[in-house]
Chain A
Amino acid sequence: MTTQTVSPPDTIRFLEEVSAATAGVSRLEMCIQCGTCGGSCPSSSDMDHTPRMLFAMIRAGMREEALRSNTPWICVSCYHCTVRCPQGVHIADVMYTLKGMAIRAKLYQDSTAPDFSKTFVDMVEEYGRSYEFGLATRHYLKHFPLRLPSMTPMGLGMLSKKRMDISPRRIEGIEQLTAILSRAKELEAA
């Protein structure tokens, strides 16, 4: 039997990479594997790994397995885990980080969730505002065509009650926003 060994620097590198890509101070290295996160999670039953398992995998340097996990995509951003974590780990924000990393590494197999985020972002970059009608039609036609019949009453209701604009609104400073976002993307790639 051969034992596969992972050299410590590689392990630490992945943990550091995740931490560095997270908005605030992630405190991910402080996780004590107590499981409060998974126990507090309303959607953990649909997850491949509970947050606790996922964090152990990150620390073990299991990059590919961690980025293939559906866990970050099932996270509903309710922050129950975040406020209960005895170590103050910014769990929900680490989930956002993992989503971005999985998209860039092309490791997450299901396209529905990443596509939704990308379509949303496309609309925001184009108009400076979210555009629910465009987002919903593009997303449902592509990913949930079979859901359309059961969604029709809702869609018609939203339109007839004027809760959804058919045409998008664009902000005046769209060029300024484009310049800011282009610069931010350069910084992100650096």
Chain B
Amino acid sequence: MTHYLFYPGCSMESSAKAYYDSLMAVCKPLGLDLQEINDWNCCGATEYVSISLTPAYALIGRNLALAEQQANGSRTVVAPCSACYLNLAKADYYMRERPVLGEKVNTALAAGGLHYDPGSLVIRHLLDVIINDIGLDKVKEKVTRPLTGLRLAPYLGCMAPRPDYDHRWSNPEYPTELDRLLKVLGAEVIDFPLKTHCCGGHMTQIAPSTAFELIRRLVHAADQYHADLMVTLCPMCQMNVDAFQGEMNNHFHTDYHMPILFFTQLIGLAFGIDPKELGFGKELVSAGPALARIGVEAPAGEKGGEPPRKPKKTDGLPMPRMMEEERLP
């Protein structure tokens, strides 16, 4: 077992519960021993730093200080959420790059009896650890139910591969880590050109039309490539593409139905783990039909989550049909 400190982040307890459940289910077969940082707090997402700099970094600093205290032999903090990963990694990096920030953060932490030495921990994303520490050979060994016949669009979004100050990814704009992992699971993997394009982040909350256009581009591209599913490693990306797909469809008068799952759910599936333990059915755009095609009966989850499917009017006034035409292969 490889031992790591683990920072789950707020989403893993709520909106990305499927990510958390499936990660816990695949830890043992992967040989991952994750020790959760006790009493961690929110990383501040992209919001706190927009309000005030020192408090934003002190908020992140508390997590780093707690992690350092609880290190117990391991110096590596693993974060499954891209925004959490980036915030922790950036705080550590900027405290080194600009010592005056480091001093301020530590002065603030001292008010809570804490201290963090920048550079003493290594912050890494979960996928990076699975690919580079555990290795694809080990993953391949554990595959008992290859995902043969499933066409996947690997989607990483922004904050895992960029800005990547510590050079952990193969490329900040076109990383192949997720592609390689999904191929080992036996799936057919699309060379998805939008794999690190933006999902809109918090724009679904503050400037919906900006966000809907970004979501439309992703879903439209995956649809054009005849993907069965998009696969992601970020709770925010999953939330935007999945939960806001219905509203995006209403906005553009489109009718996309593109499920998006977490990569850990697919690892679990390929390892032969019961889909009930992997959080299937929590997605609002159901992945059930796609999975049924490869003979997997995934739980549909409680009813009520399907996005509204507006019937297309064919006898009304002539309307612009560009979106429809664009969808033709």
| B158 near A77: Cβ-Cβ < 8 Å | yes
Q: A80-B158, A121-B48 are in contact. Are A23 and B39 (CB under 8 A)?
A: no
CB closest chain-A residue, reference B307: A153
| B172 near A157: Cβ-Cβ < 8 Å | no
- Which residues of B have CB within 8 Å of A181? 55, 58-59, 108
- Which residues of A have CB within 8 Å of B98? 23-25
- Which residues of A have CB within 8 Å of B162? 78-80, 82-83
| B53 near A21: Cβ-Cβ < 8 Å | yes
Point out the residue from A78, A158, A171 that lies within 8 Å of B39, measured CB to CB.
A171
Q: A96-B50, A120-B45 are in contact. Are A179 and B14 (CB under 8 A)?
A: no
Q: How far is the CB of A188 from chain B (nearest CB, A)?
A: 4
B268 at the interface (CB under 8 A from A): no
- Which residues of B have CB within 8 Å of A121? 44, 47-48, 51
Q: A120-B45, A180-B58 are in contact. Are A43 and B214 (CB under 8 A)?
A: yes
| A157 near B52: Cβ-Cβ < 8 Å | no
| A79 near B205: Cβ-Cβ < 8 Å | no
B10 at the interface (CB under 8 A from A): yes
- Which residues of A have CB within 8 Å of B48? 117, 120-121, 124
Majority secondary structure, A binding face: helix
CB closest chain-A residue, reference B61: A180
Of A1-9, A29-37, A55-63, A128-136, which binds chain B?
A: A128-136
Cα–Cα distance between A54 and B112 once the two chains are bound (Å): 39
| B62 near A177: Cβ-Cβ < 8 Å | yes
Residue from A25, A76, A144, A182 having most chain B Cβ neighbours under 10 A: A76
- Which residues of B have CB within 8 Å of A42? 197-198, 214
Q: How far is the CB of A107 from chain B (nearest CB, A)?
A: 14
Q: How far is the CB of A168 from chain B (nearest CB, A)?
A: 10
| B112 near A176: Cβ-Cβ < 8 Å | yes
Chain B 28-51 interface 0/1 with A at a Cβ cutoff of 8 Å (1 = within) = 000000000001111011111111
Cα–Cα distance between A107 and B253 once the two chains are bound (Å): 36
| A116 near B206: Cβ-Cβ < 8 Å | yes
Q: How many B residues touch A, CB cutoff 8 Å?
A: 80
| B304 near A23: Cβ-Cβ < 8 Å | no
Q: A24-B101, A130-B10, A153-B307 are in contact. Are A117 and B163 (CB under 8 A)?
A: no
Cα–Cα distance between A73 and B202 once the two chains are bound (Å): 10
A100 at the interface (CB under 8 A from B): yes
Chain A 94-108 interface 0/1 with B at a Cβ cutoff of 8 Å (1 = within) = 001101100100000
B302 at the interface (CB under 8 A from A): yes
- Which residues of B have CB within 8 Å of A114? 50
Point out the residue from A25, A80, A116, A163 that lies within 8 Å of B202, measured CB to CB.
A116
Cα–Cα distance between A77 and B159 once the two chains are bound (Å): 8
Of B141-149, B223-231, B243-251, which binds chain A?
A: B243-251
Chain A 35-70 interface 0/1 with B at a Cβ cutoff of 8 Å (1 = within) = 000000011001000000000000000000000000
B294 at the interface (CB under 8 A from A): no
Point out the residue from A83, A99, A120, A161 that lies within 8 Å of B305, measured CB to CB.
A161
Q: A158-B243, A163-B14 are in contact. Are A24 and B198 (CB under 8 A)?
A: no
Cα–Cα distance between A143 and B200 once the two chains are bound (Å): 18
Q: A160-B303, A187-B107 are in contact. Are A117 and B246 (CB under 8 A)?
A: no
CB closest chain-B residue, reference A83: B172
Q: Which of B57-94 contact A (CB under 8 A)?
A: 57-59, 61-62, 90, 93-94
Cα–Cα distance between A24 and B163 once the two chains are bound (Å): 13
Q: A153-B308, A157-B304, A161-B281 are in contact. Are A180 and B57 (CB under 8 A)?
A: no
Extra pairs beyond A96-B53, A154-B307, A161-B304 (6, CB < 8 Å): A24-B98, A43-B210, A99-B50, A180-B111, A183-B111, A184-B58
Task: Pick 16 A–B contacts, CB within 8 A, sort by A.
Answer: A24-B94, A42-B214, A76-B198, A76-B200, A83-B163, A92-B163, A114-B50, A116-B47, A117-B51, A118-B51, A120-B48, A132-B10, A157-B307, A161-B284, A184-B52, A184-B54
